[in-house]
């Protein structure tokens, strides 16, 4: 059964530096890396690599970066029929500096991603998909319209964090925040324990279920019952994109008819494997990498 991802696509430019530049300072870094990114594209790639049919709905600019974005999605088998090219507009980019200690700075220019609107959504596509998966790196009116038109299970990864209208949350079947996003939605400090996260997720009104990702502590399913799914122990080398791998895998399992608990167990396994490879999209595992 098919998955539709409505969201962002970027090219990330990553400069490794010894130390982060202070305001007004120039530092010389090492060779830069150029990597496809954007939460929407990352999650579409994650679900497609696991074998689900995935259609991506989003916007690229009319510049040379669009080819990099398209190429990465096509290589993973994502259907780009509904990827729109916006004239006279740059593609989305993220400028990232990463210091040797792992600290980073990130400046995002959404570019074409900010031009996604309700008019670019196809009602037939959204009503027929088994699962809609969305995030918050595209305008909220586009996300709201997509959720409204969805005929299947609605998954929302509320990243980057912001408060959300009650009407939108009421249409969400599964909300997938990490700890800090959960804090923002509950208008409370970030939960520090699993029990605190469970209580905070329960306090949210609207979504039928909340699945909280807890980094190296795994994930928490908060529905009629509360279940903690511990992380799979791995030698993590890069947790960038672990949350995106998790969301894509949850969509993959739910589209195949799994229960929410079984889907969360699958997502925890997929996300763990994703942390053993570098890069957000390049580190997304294929189905056989997880099942073997
Ligand atoms: P985000 O990247 O959005 O902040 P998390 O850090 O919560 O999300 O990670 C998402 C999921 O990835 C977690 O729920 C967990 O299953 C998995 N994960 C993250 N870090 C690790 C780790 N060090 N070891 C094993 N699994 C991990």
Is residue 108 in a domain? no
At 237 the pLDDT is 86
Q: Is the CB of 161 under 6 A from ligand 1?
A: no
Question: Is 153 touching ligand 1 by the criterion CB < 6 Å?
Answer: no
Asked if 141 and 117 count as a contact pair (C-beta separation under 8 A), the reply is yes
Catalytic residues: 244
Task: Classify residue 29: in a domain, yes or no.
Answer: no
User: pLDDT 10s digit of each residue in the chain, 292 long?
Assistant: 799 999 999 999 999 999 999 999 999 999 999 999 999 999 999 999 999 999 999 999 999 999 999 999 999 999 999 999 999 999 999 999 999 988 889 899 999 999 999 999 999 999 999 999 999 999 999 999 999 999 999 999 999 999 999 999 999 999 999 999 999 999 999 999 999 999 999 999 999 999 999 999 999 999 999 999 999 999 988 888 899 999 999 999 999 999 999 999 999 999 999 999 888 888 899 999 999 7
Look at residue 149 in the predicted model and tell me its pLDDT: 98
Q: How far is the CA of 256 from the centre of ligand 1 (A)?
A: 23
Nearest CA to ligand 1 atom 3: 243
Residue 32 inside a domain? The answer is no
In the prediction, which pLDDT does 48 show? 98
Rounded CA separation 231/76 (Å): 26
Q: Indicate which CATH number applies to the domain containing 135.
A: 3.40.1190.20
Minimum CA distance residue for ligand 1 atom 21: 216
Does residue 125 belong to any structural domain of this protein? yes
- Position 77 scores a pLDDT of 98
Q: Are 94 and 107 in contact (CB under 8 A)?
A: yes
What pLDDT is stored for residue 277 in this prediction? 87
Question: What pLDDT score was predicted for residue 55?
Answer: 98
Question: Could you give the CA distance from residue 214 to residue 237 in angstroms, rounded to a whole number?
Answer: 17
The backbone torsions φ and ψ at residue 76, rounded to the nearest 5 degrees and listed phi first, read -90, 0
Inside any domain, residue 107: no
* Measured CA distances, 83 to 52, 66, 129, 228, 232 (Å): 18, 10, 16, 37, 35
pLDDT of residue 275: 93
Strand 104-109 with 92-99, pairing: antiparallel
Q: In total, how many domains does the chain have?
A: 1
94: in domain: no
At 209 the pLDDT is: 98
The whole-number pLDDT of residue 238 equals 83
Domain assignment of residue 26, yes or no: no
Give the nearest ligand 1 atom to 219 CA: 14
Q: Report pLDDT for 278.
A: 81
- Write down the pLDDT at residue 253: 98
- Backbone phi, then psi, for 166, in 5-degree steps? -60, -35
Q: Which helix (H) or strand (E) holds 290?
A: helix 287-291
Query: Residue 151's pLDDT is what?
Result: 98
C-alpha of residue 264 to centroid of ligand 1, in Å:
12
Q: Quickly tell me which residue has 């530049």 as its tokens.
A: 21
Tell me which of 231, 232, 237, 265 to substitute to probe ligand 1's pocket, judged by most ligand atoms within 8 Å of the beta carbon.
231
Domain of 151 in residue numbering reads as 3-9+39-89+113-291
At residue 292, the pLDDT reads 77
- In a domain, residue 104? The reply is no
């Amino acid at each position: 059964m098919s998955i539709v991802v409505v969201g962002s696509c970027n090219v990330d430019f990553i400069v490794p530096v010894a130390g982060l530049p202070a305001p007004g300072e120039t530092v010389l870094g090492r060779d830069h890396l150029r990597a496809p990114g954007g939460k929407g594209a990352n999650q579409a790639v994650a679900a497609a690599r696991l074998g689900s049919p995935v259609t991506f709905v989003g916007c690229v600019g009319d510049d040379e970066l669009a080819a990099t974005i398209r190429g990465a999605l096509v290589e993973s088998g994502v259907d780009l029929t509904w990827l729109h090219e916006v004239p006279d507009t740059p593609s989305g980019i993220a400028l990232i500096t990463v210091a040797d200690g792992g600290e980073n700075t990130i400046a995002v220019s959404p570019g074409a991603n900010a031009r996604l609107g309700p008019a670019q959504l196809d009602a037939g596509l959204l009503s027929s998909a088994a699962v809609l998966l969305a995030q918050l790196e595209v305008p909220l009116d586009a996300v709201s319209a997509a959720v409204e038109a969805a005929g299947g299970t609605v998954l929302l990864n509320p990243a980057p964090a912001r408060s959300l209208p009650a009407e939108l949350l009421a249409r969400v079947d599964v909300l997938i925040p990490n700890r800090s996003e959960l804090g923002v939605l509950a208008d409370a400090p970030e939960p520090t324990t699993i029990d605190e996260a469970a209580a905070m997720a329960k306090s949210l009104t609207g979504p039928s279920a909340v699945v909280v990702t807890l980094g190296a502590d795994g994930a928490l399913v908060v529905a009629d019952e509360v279940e903690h799914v511990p992380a799979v122990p791995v030698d993590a080398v890069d947790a960038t994109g672990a949350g995106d791998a998790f969301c894509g895998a949850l969509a993959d399992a739910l589209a195949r008819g799994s229960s929410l608990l079984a889907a969360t167990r699958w997502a925890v396994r997929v996300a763990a494997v994703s942390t053993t490879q570098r890069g957000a999209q390049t580190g997304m595992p294929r189905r056989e990498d997880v099942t073997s």
